[in-house]
Amino acid sequence: MKPVIFGLSGLALTADERAFFAEADPLGYILFKRNVEDRAQLRALTDSLRALSGRDDVPILIDQEGGRVARMQPPHWPAFPAGPAFDALYDIAPMSAIQAAAANAQALGLMLSEVGINVDCLPLLDVVQPDTTEAITIRAYGSEPMRVAAMGRATIDGLRTGGVVGVVKHMPGHGRAVVDTHHHLPTVTASDAELEIDIEPFRTLAAAPMGMTSHIVFEAWDRALPATLSATVIEEVIRGRIGFDGLLMTDDIDMKALSGSAGDKAAGAIAAGCDVVLDCWARMNEMVDIAGRLGEIAPVSRARLDRAMATIGTPEGDFAELVAKRDALLALV
């Protein structure tokens, strides 16, 4: 098994993708709007990925956060609120916000598990600052580490009850980035002491099954390399000070924050200590390059993967009741 998660080009596997994935044996797959049509098509696609991999628990990921970040959309699936809706409720009723976040995540889990998706790239544990890029503020749970962690925990628990693994992101924190990593490489000049605020939610949820890195340079820790490619940040901060021992994946290595070839970026991330590379855009030449640069998954990484996927149980709950509970609580604002 290669330590990489690949994207797909369309609504079904192409012949070239099928042949390549069968040979490369990637750890998992990630789906986007281009891969989603309706329930029947999506379930058939995820079934085909499980059959091809020979693993019933092969990770099949999606970014289904709510708000603008939603790959499964109306009319086939309902819209979900994003983090700021729960942050606003927390201002007046903290326990209600936590309950709403849990119900929302459980409903998300049920919706995803119904179509064979077993990993949701949620929750964001990024702590918002006054000048945080809009790419994060429209999605985050707020500017207080305690409330971010509380709603993050509720989200992970809700997803698990709905039959899905959550991914905490973007480690060790994206809140101080003033530019969007999809387009630029942010550099954070905050001191080590100031960055305690950023890592606090991740430390609180250090037992999370999966995590995702950020493509950000933190000058206090490594002036040369972004977190995704920095052994110092991964080993000393994420694994050390935060204490995270779950499966650590990169953010999408195609983002413009990182430079170099796909293979160079993938190999660099694994060498730095990431367990798995995330490559989203299904460009065959880049996927071939990545697969050629990566060896077999390390035993410690495979153990982390197995632990994470073992947290998935039988989905529980009634979707309509959970949505109604969430909406009644959010209506308090």
Catalytic, 215? Answer no
Distance CA 275, CA 298 (A): 8
Distance CA 135, CA 50 (A): 33
Kindly state the greatest CA–CA separation across the chain.
54
Convert 40-54 to b/e letters by CB count within 10 Å (16 or more is b).
eebeebbeebbebbe
Beta strand pairing call for 277-279 and 217-218: unpaired
Q: Are 88 and 133 in contact (CB under 8 A)?
A: no
Catalytic, 87? Answer no
Catalytic residue among 25, 157, 182, 254: 182
Consecutive H or E run containing 23: helix 15-24
Catalytic residue among 251, 252, 275, 289: 251
What is the CB-side half-sphere exposure of residue 91 using CA atoms within 13 A?
12
Instruction: Let me know if 177 is exposed, middle or buried by CB neighbors in 10 A (0-12, 13-18, 19+).
Output: buried
Beta strand pairing call for 165-171 and 69-70: unpaired
* 225-233: long-range pairs with CB below 8 Å, 24+: 225/272, 226/185, 226/257, 226/258, 227/171, 227/172, 228/253, 228/258, 228/269, 228/272, 228/274, 229/258, 229/265, 229/268, 229/269, 229/272, 230/272, 231/271, 231/272, 231/273, 233/172, 233/272
Catalytic site positions: 182, 251
